[in-house]
Amino acid sequence: MHEQAVTQRVLVIALEKAKEARANRVASINLVIGEMSSITDDCMQFYFDFLSQDSIASDAKLSFKRIPTQVGCRRCGHSFTLNNPPWKCPQCEQWDVEIQAGQELYIDSIHFRLHRLREYAGSPAKFWLS
């Protein structure tokens, strides 16, 4: 996953939503990132600061919620957390597993500054970035 492209998309969405909310500033953006999405927090904030410098999001803080990789066994239903392959079920020793979590990459909420702090959390749909 290319961090710069993802960050660009985050900025576009934040500015779009800021406009809809008639906000003066974007205060913070909360992202949910699965462990399997190879996104580095520092790297993303760095790109964001660079890309947003002439916008109303220039001092916005990115915060990251990490979701561990969750794998489920199709044979016995056992669910386990493992960050790297090989994914073999520790209970029945089968390889027939599916990834249940860890691939997330979306904006969970965006906070704007009006006269007072106001949160945009209006849409039930997440803004998926991948």
Residue 117 lies near Zn ion (rule: CB under 5 A)? no
User: In the bound complex, what is the minimum distance in angstroms from residue 93's beta carbon to Zn ion?
Assistant: 7
Question: Token pair 């994914």 is at which residue?
Answer: 87
- 13's enclosing H/E stretch is helix 3-20
Indicate the angle between helix axes 41-51 and 3-20, nearest 10 degrees: 60
For Zn ion, what does the binding mask look like between residues 28 and 67, x meaning CB under 5 A? Answer: ----------------------------------------
Q: Distance (Å, rounded) from C-alpha 47 to C-alpha 8? A: 8
Site for Zn ion in 69-108 (CB under 5 A): 73, 75-76, 78, 89, 91-92
The residues binding Zn ion (CB under 5 A) are 73, 75-76, 78, 89, 91-92
